[in-house]
Chains A and B, each alone.
Chain A
């Protein structure tokens, strides 16, 4: 026997640890839901919700993505550290989107083609000399 004793008698210890093995029925349900949601994606694109179009399309895609991540990628049963590592990438992604779109929203745009950024003209004038106090 070495200092590293791996023969606990528990066969699971000799393997890669205990894993959740999903049922085939669950995978099939996830697949069918994803296919239905693809139909919903196409259907929703036919209706004009105005400014909400992008939000609705991305909301449906996010639901689909969540299903893939939670079930196909098994994140639902993964360790806490793996969940944090992967899901935090979406947090950083939201920061990237937030500041990129904040730049767009606060940028001064002129004309129909709003790439042209006309510099704001400042006319600096010499302030009138203030009379000194008596």
Chain B
């Protein structure tokens, strides 16, 4: 018992390869700690839904206004790469779910393997995304070096949208599709990178034996974050690559 009259609650380790978890002093019980953190994380995920929701609203609005621009824009993306990336993310969501399950059942090695595979999925996704962006850059549909370039008020031309081949010449406001494509996939990609970093952090804690059947809260929350990344992409794939 500490001097303030509260004893610290300790969740015992299920085995010698694990370490016990001490419940943060501002919680009375492990259940309270778990439920508080989880409720907070669900609230955060709700704000994430609304963040992407604003972008989806912009997509739907402009899609309704310029359906031809979106249809033609979508054809400039390689739907096969989009489908491969969808598969990669779905597989990584599964490995993450299995990683959380392994932590819940105190299977340290399996947690490491499944989390490692999830990080590989994240890397694979970003590598494919890099080559997609590279192609868009080469065709002048998204000129990355000019993203923050000066807007030409005289001609009204955007510095980052050059369309060298003229694929979007026949439709109004060709840049709109690519502005939305870049914004949505870049913010999504940022989440992929952050998610991969968080999973690496989980692997570090797992190696130290911090997560087991008695305490797996961080693994659970990072898992939820990773599934959200997958959730967003499930909508981005048909909207951007297969433009309905």
Chain A interfacial positions (CB closer than 8 Å to B): 2-4, 6, 13-17, 19, 21-22, 24, 27-28, 30-31, 34-35, 38, 41-42, 45, 53-54, 56-58, 60-61, 64-65, 68-69, 71-73, 78-79, 81-82, 85-86, 88-90, 92-93, 96-97, 100-101, 103-104, 113-115
Which of B38-46, B132-140, B151-159 is near enough to bind chain A? B38-46
Residue pair B97, A72 in contact (C-beta under 8 Å):
yes
Note all chain A residues with C-beta closer than 8 A to B6.
2, 4
Note all chain B residues with C-beta closer than 8 A to A15.
11, 30, 213-215
Residue pair B97, A115 in contact (C-beta under 8 Å):
no
Distance between A56 CB and nearest chain B CB, rounded to angstroms? 7
Contact with A along B65-92 (1 / 0, CB 8 A): 1000000000000010001001100110
Distance between B121 CB and nearest chain A CB, rounded to angstroms? 12
A67 to B237, CA, bound (A): 17
Residue pair A68, B93 in contact (C-beta under 8 Å):
yes
A65 to B227, CA, bound (A): 10
Residue pair A42, B83 in contact (C-beta under 8 Å):
yes
With beta carbons under 8 angstroms apart, the residue of A19, A28, A54, A96 that contacts B244 is: A54
Residue pair B65, A115 in contact (C-beta under 8 Å):
yes
Q: Is B180 an interface residue (CB 8 A)?
A: no
Note all chain B residues with C-beta closer than 8 A to A82.
38-39, 42
Chain B interfacial positions (CB closer than 8 Å to A): 1, 5-7, 9, 11-12, 28-31, 33-35, 38-39, 42-43, 45-47, 49-50, 53-54, 56-57, 60-61, 63-65, 79, 83, 86-87, 90-91, 93-94, 96-98, 101, 104-105, 172-173, 213-217, 223-224, 227-228, 230-231, 234-235, 237-239, 242, 244
Query: If the complex has contacts A85-B39, A89-B49, A96-B54, are A41 and B215 also in contact, measured as CB distance less than 8 A?
Result: no
Residue pair A17, B87 in contact (C-beta under 8 Å):
no
Count A-B contacts at CB 8 Å. 166
A97 to B35, CA, bound (A): 31
Distance between B128 CB and nearest chain A CB, rounded to angstroms? 15
Most A C-beta atoms less than 10 A away, residue of B34, B46, B50, B238: B238
Query: If the complex has contacts A24-B98, A31-B90, A100-B61, are A16 and B42 also in contact, measured as CB distance less than 8 A?
Result: no
Note all chain B residues with C-beta closer than 8 A to A96.
50, 53-54, 57
Query: If the complex has contacts A24-B98, A64-B234, are A42 and B38 also in contact, measured as CB distance less than 8 A?
Result: no
Question: Shortest 8 CB-CB distances between A and B: which pairs?
Answer: A89-B46, A45-B242, A16-B34, A53-B244, A17-B31, A31-B94, A89-B49, A54-B244
Residue pair B11, A69 in contact (C-beta under 8 Å):
no
With beta carbons under 8 angstroms apart, the residue of A3, A42, A65 that contacts B242 is: A42
Note all chain B residues with C-beta closer than 8 A to A100.
57, 60-61
Note all chain A residues with C-beta closer than 8 A to B29.
4, 6, 13
